[in-house]
Amino acid sequence: EVQLVESGGGLVKPGGSLRLSCAASGFTFSSYSMNWVRQAPGKGLEWVSSISSSDSYIYYADSLKGRFTISRDNAKNSLYLQMNSLRAEDTAVYYCARDDKLLVDYWGQGTLVTVSS
Amino acid sequence: DIQMTQSPSTLSATVGDRVSITCRASQTISSWLAWYQQKPGKAPKLLIYKASSLESGVPSRFSGSGSGTEFTLTISSLQPDDFATYYCQQYNSYPCSFGQGTKLEIK
């Protein structure tokens, strides 16, 4: 069974940093591209970033303007999102998601990031 | 970037109704279109991929159609479990983009 478990969310002040993690199991992690997708409270889904299976290709939403960095450790079956210079508008549930040729087929349960003073 | 537009934003219906949700892409995406269902406090769940292929385990009352720029999700006979928010997503190219969502409410 595919499982994706996010962690690392919490309350952070504007301008602060946070690192999210996603532990994957139930599939060959090193064979799949992975994504972060976020959802602000009461809002829709917003794709954040993708990383290919061997991190040869990395993509970001234009709105992030270089503040976020996606990475992975295939030896640890883990995906990460380093978030810097956080703003109130970054407040959201952040989902880790697997994709198969760009189709997002499995999602984690999400971790809440709240940016507030 | 490809923009996805769903309509309607909200849909009120009754158990047993047949309902349809439309998704339009700002440029052609062939059939690289997925539909997701999301319930409050839960992660999205994949329903349909490649515009019309039903994900394993999804009830057959759900169907998808379309290609190019216009797509439709149809639920043939609404069940109580179907009241949720539905999103389309194009996966033709990066950045992958979602529609704004359609909330299906009980009338």
**Across B32-41, B66-75, B88-97, least confident range:** B88-97
Instruction: Note the pLDDT of residue A65.
Output: 76
pLDDT at B107: 86
Whether the per-residue pLDDT at A95 is higher than 90: the answer is yes
For the segment A17-48, what is each residue's pLDDT rounded down to a tens digit?
A: 999 999 999 999 999 999 999 999 999 999 99
For residue B9, the chain A residue with the least C-alpha distance is A44
Q: Token pair of A93, please?
A: 């549930």
Question: CB pairs below 8 Å between A and B: how many?
Answer: 57
Q: Nearest CB to B95: which of A47, A103, A105? A: A47
**B66 to chain A nearest CA, in Å?**
17
Q: Tell me, what's the pLDDT at A72?
A: 98
Give the tokens for residue A31.
Answer: 């064979």
Task: Give the pLDDT mean for B86-97.
Answer: 94
Q: What is the pLDDT of residues B19-69, one digit of tens each?
A: 999 999 999 999 999 999 999 999 999 999 999 999 999 999 999 999 999
- From the list B34, B94, B100, which residue is nearest A103 (CB)? B34
Q: What is the DSSP string of B27-90?
A: S--TT-EEEEEE-TTS--EEEEETTTEEPTT--TTEEEEEETTEEEEEESS--GGG-SEEEEEE
Q: Measured between beta carbons, which residues in chain A are less than 8 angstroms from residue B94?
A: 50, 59, 102
Contact B46 A104 (CB under 8 A): yes
Q: Please choose, from the candidates B16, B75, B79, B38, the residue with its C-alpha nearest in 3D space to the C-alpha of residue A93.
A: B38
pLDDT higher than threshold 80 for residue A109: yes
Average pLDDT score, chain A? 96
